Structure 1
Amino acid sequence: MSEAAEFIDAALQREASWERADSLNANDDGLRYYGASVGVVRGTVRDALRKFRGMDRKAVLFLAAELWFEPIFERRLAAVVLLQSNVALLRPSDLARLERYVREGRRETLVDPVAVDVVGPLAARLTEPERAQAEAVLDRWALSPDPWLCRAAMLAPLRELRSGGGDAEAFLRRVRTALENDEGVVRDALGVLSEELGKRRPDLVGELPG
C-alpha cells in the first residue's frame, strides 16, 4: 500500500471499536468491518489530506482505488469521502470508475454518497458536450437491470435540484425509467427524494411517481 493508504488504514483500525466490529461482522453481509464510526472515517480522511497535501487527480484516484480494493466497509467509505473531498478534480472519464463503485457498493451508505456527492456535482459542473455525455451515462444507469445503478441515477441530481437548478424534465423521466426495476432499493429511493426535495422543490415531489 502507499504511505497514504497505510496511514488511513492504521488510523481506522486504531480508532475502531471491537465490540462494534464483532456486532457488524456477525451480519455476514459480504463486507468486513473494523468498527470505526462514520465520524472517525471522515476525520481520518481529513487528516490524511492535511498530511499528504497537494494530491492531484491521479493520486486521488489511485488512493481511492487502494482503499476500495479491500472489502472492508470503513476503507470503502474512506474512498468515498476522499472522492467527495476532491470532486473538483474529477473528469467525465472518471464516471466509469464511479460506476464500478456503485455496482460494488451495494448498500445505501456507500452508493448514495457516491451518487449524490460525487456523480451529481461532477455532472452539474460540466458544459456541453461533456454534460450531455454525463447525462447519457445516467440515462443508461436508469435502464440498467442493476438496482443500485438505477438508484444512483435517481439520486445523482439531488443536490442540483435541491438548490433550484437542474433539468427537472430529465430527472423525472429518469426516475420513471429507473422505477421499472421494482427492486426495493429502487423504490426506497423515492422516499429519499421526497424527503430531500419536499421543502425546497415541492413541485417536483408532486410529480414523482406513486
Structure 2
Amino acid sequence: MSDAADFVDAALQREGSRQRAAEQQARLGSGLRFYGASVGAVRGTVRDAARRYRGLTHDDVTALSSELWAVPVFERRLAAIVLLQSNVHQLGNSDLTRIEGFVRGARLRELVDPLAVDVIGPMVEALDPPGRARADLVLDRWVRDRVCWLGRAALLSPLRALRAGGGDWDRFTRRARSFLMQPPAAGEGEAVREAISFVLSEVAKTRPELGFPLLAP
C-alpha cells in the first residue's frame, strides 16, 4: 500500500472497537469485514490524512480512493467515499467509470447512498454542458442496468440539488418513470423503488409545487 493508504488503514484500526465491529457485521453483513470505527472517526481520519499529505492532485485522490476500496473492509470503503466527497471539485466526467465500479461492488445502502448523494450528484452538477450531457447518458444507462444499485445511485444523485431548488426534475421523473414502467423481477428492484419514494418525499417537503407524473401516459 501507499503511505497514505497505510496511514488511513492504521488510523481506522486504532479507532475500531470489537463490539462495534460485531454489531455492524450482524446488521450489515454483505461479505465485508469491519474494523468497528464510527462514521465520525472515518471522517476525522480522512481529514487527518489530508493535512498530512497536502496538495493531493486529482490522480492522487482517485488512486488513493481505489486503493482504499480494493480491500473489502467497510470503513476503508467509507473512507474512500469521504475522500472523494472532500475532493469532488477535482472530479470530472471521466471518473464515472471508476465510481461505477465502486457502486457495482458496494451492495449496501450505507455505501451506495453517500456515493450517489455526496459524490456523483455534486460532480455531475458542476460539469460543463457537454460533460453533463455525457454523464447524463451514463446515469440513464445505470437505471436500465440489471445491477439495481446502479439504478438507485442514478436516481438518488440529484437529491441535494433538488432539495436546494435546482436540479433537473424532468430528467429525474423520466428516469423514475422508465424504471417503474419496466420493473425487474419481484424483489430485485426494491432498492430502486425505495430511492424513488425517498426523493419524492424529500422534494415534496420543500417544493410541493412540483408534479410527479411518473405514471402519466
Please tell me the TM-score bracket, short chain as reference: over 0.9
CA contact (8 A) 1:150 1:181 kept: no
Deviation at 1:73, TM superposition (A): 0.2
Identity of aligned residues (%): 55
Q: Which residue does 2:100 correspond to in 1?
A: 99
- Structure 1 window deviating more from structure 2 (162-171 vs 190-199): it is 190-199
The residue type paired with residue 189 of structure 1 is A
Q: Which residue does 2:74 correspond to in 1?
A: 73
Q: Which residue does 1:17 correspond to in 2?
A: 17
- Relative to 1, partners in 2 of residues 1:121 and 1:26: Cα closer, same or farther, differing over 3 Å? closer
Q: Equivalents in 2 of 1:191, 1:166: separation in Å?
A: 17
Q: Equivalents in 1 of 2:81, 2:125: separation in Å?
A: 18
Q: Which residue does 2:197 correspond to in 1?
A: 191
Q: Which residue does 1:38 correspond to in 2?
A: 39
Q: Deviations for 1:130-177, whole angstroms, at most 9, x for unmatched residues?
A: 111011111111111111011111111111111111221111001112
Q: Equivalents in 2 of 1:11, 1:205: separation in Å?
A: 47
Q: Equivalents in 1 of 2:121, 2:26: separation in Å?
A: 34
The residue type paired with residue 24 of structure 1 is Q
Deviation at 1:208, TM superposition (A): 5.3
CA contact (8 A) 1:151 1:178 kept: no
Q: Which residue does 2:165 correspond to in 1?
A: 164
SS of aligned partner of 1:126: coil
4+ residue segments displaced more than 6 Å: none
- Equivalent of 2:183 in 151, 171, 181: 181
SS of aligned partner of 1:186: helix
SS of aligned partner of 2:129: coil
The residue type paired with residue 203 of structure 1 is E
CA contact (8 A) 1:116 1:156 kept: yes
TM-score for both structures, normalised by structure 1 = 0.93
1:145 matched to 2:146? The reply is yes
Q: Equivalents in 2 of 1:205, 1:77: separation in Å?
A: 35
CA contact (8 A) 1:92 1:130 kept: yes
Q: Which residue does 1:113 correspond to in 2?
A: 114
Q: Equivalents in 2 of 1:190, 1:100: separation in Å?
A: 22
Q: Equivalents in 2 of 1:58, 1:159: separation in Å?
A: 26
Aligned length: 210
Q: Equivalents in 2 of 1:86, 1:174: separation in Å?
A: 27
The residue type paired with residue 11 of structure 2 is A
Q: Equivalents in 1 of 2:154, 2:179: separation in Å?
A: 8
The residue type paired with residue 64 of structure 1 is S
Q: Which residue does 1:88 correspond to in 2?
A: 89
- Relative to 1, partners in 2 of residues 1:100 and 1:203: Cα closer, same or farther, differing over 3 Å? farther
SS of aligned partner of 1:120: helix
CA contact (8 A) 2:103 2:112 kept: yes
SS of aligned partner of 2:146: coil
Deviation at 1:128, TM superposition (A): 2.0
CA contact (8 A) 1:80 1:114 kept: yes
The residue type paired with residue 126 of structure 1 is L
Deviation at 1:26, TM superposition (A): 4.6
CA contact (8 A) 1:60 1:83 kept: yes
Q: Deviations for 1:111-133, whole angstroms, at most 9, x for unmatched residues?
A: 11111111111111112211110
The residue type paired with residue 112 of structure 1 is D
